[in-house]
Structure 1
């Protein structure tokens, strides 16, 4: 299924999903981490959420590319002031997760997305892809599936998915960026 998603995405856009996504994500990540650390120094709910996420990130034994990518993807909705709780979901591995009435979500066991070993993607109450090893891999499959099959982005994460589509994947739909997405794009492109 994973390879089918990538093939269909390439057929529609003529863009290699994995290469384009990781290339742009890795280019933007150092600047975003710096922005996150600045925002975490402020007060408010967003600053508190970013501080907690950065503390978890800083405690990771391995600070490799996948850890940084995971930080980017978990911090992006916080930075854009969106609620990712209906998309990034965790469950107790001893119980089956309730996936009924789930439009689209990424599930994993445990609370630490940095060290989870397996993710699965649910679309319209059905598990469509299992055993994705890391959050960035699971996210890119979910984005490719949503985009290639013309599904709606999760309502509470419109800005996050628009950012991925227009800034990371360079797929413009002719509509102007919302101010929060445009501001983040401009911040990430500063030298």
Structure 2
């Protein structure tokens, strides 16, 4: 999908000057009628001040985020700010509601609804593929399926999203990083361009099984934790997918095939045909 550089030198933070998407740069909306750069900067300051409150006014935040959309898009596309700068300047963008709203502003679609509905619609076919695999891949998928204790939607979605990178030949261990709630070690994620931290309470499980059933999730972009206390894997993946659009980010190299699959295949009504016919893709 996108072209992006690799990590910085060892010991340095994740690359802060990575190439952004070219195919989405065409969408640069005009400033709202009656507003110039100065007026939108004033609205941006109001947003920052509001987000510093213990309980921000959700309606005010939405109104100002809608108003400043064109300014934000130009900054992302033209100046390519580091993520740490975006978090400071646009803190509302890194909230669950605004990730989904920003995706809708850009693409005109309900990301959360389409993401979940697509997984739910095709999960049975994907799990059948998981069960049909043999060899090392089959062993990993069998272990994964054995950990799926219920048929609740969240558990099934998690199984699908954890199994896809295995089937597609990605390296999920370079994307999903285990950590403990109170861990002060930032080496776990400081070199991640994009990734998800699987957070467990101290001593709850052994490190080797930490990734199986974490207490919560965090999303990481360019070595920065940008969203915390995400309650489940499907939501964490959905939010990170939305942020790649909002921030013109590359898909993470260790999960490039999985993210492409989510982008190109999940929305398709022909998924079952594509899955069963493309033997070269699934081996």
TM-score, normalization by structure 2:
0.56
The answer to whether the 8 Å contact 2:118/2:267 transfers is yes
Q: Which residue of 2 aligns with 1:175?
A: none
SS of aligned partner of 2:219: strand
1:109 is aligned to 2:109:
no
Q: Which residue of 1 aligns with 2:126?
A: 32
Measured on the aligned residues, the alpha-carbon RMSD in Å equals: 2.3
Distance 1:4 1:109 in 2: 23
Correspondence 1:153-168 to 2 at 5 A: 153-168=251-266
The 1:135/1:113 distance shift into structure 2, 3 A limit, reads farther
1:78 is aligned to 2:172:
no
Correspondence 1:97-136 to 2 at 5 A: 97-98=185-186, 99-110=189-200, 111=209, 115-136=213-234
The total of aligned residue pairs comes to: 172
Deviation at 1:63, TM superposition (A): 2.6
Distance 1:93 1:118 in 2: 9
Where structure 2 has 5 or more consecutive residues not aligned to the other structure, the ranges are 1-94, 201-208, 279-283
Distance 2:173 2:273 in 1: 21
Deviation at 1:94, TM superposition (A): 4.4
The answer to whether the 8 Å contact 2:193/2:220 transfers is yes
Q: Which residue of 2 aligns with 1:53?
A: 144
1:88 to 161, 165, 176: 176
Deviation at 1:125, TM superposition (A): 1.2
The answer to whether the 8 Å contact 1:32/1:188 transfers is no
The answer to whether the 8 Å contact 2:126/2:160 transfers is yes
Larger radius of gyration: 2
The 1:78/1:85 distance shift into structure 2, 3 A limit, reads same
The answer to whether the 8 Å contact 1:53/1:75 transfers is yes
Distance 1:31 1:186 in 2: 8
Q: Which residue of 2 aligns with 1:177?
A: none
Moved more, 151-160 or 107-116: 107-116
Distance 2:267 2:184 in 1: 34
The answer to whether the 8 Å contact 2:198/2:214 transfers is yes
The answer to whether the 8 Å contact 1:108/1:118 transfers is yes
Moved more, 97-106 or 65-74: 97-106
The answer to whether the 8 Å contact 1:77/1:160 transfers is yes
The 1:185/1:131 distance shift into structure 2, 3 A limit, reads farther
The answer to whether the 8 Å contact 2:199/2:218 transfers is no
Moved more, 67-76 or 111-120: 111-120
The 1:154/1:165 distance shift into structure 2, 3 A limit, reads same
The answer to whether the 8 Å contact 1:28/1:188 transfers is no
Deviation at 1:117, TM superposition (A): 2.6
Q: Which residue of 2 aligns with 1:21?
A: 115
SS of aligned partner of 1:28: helix
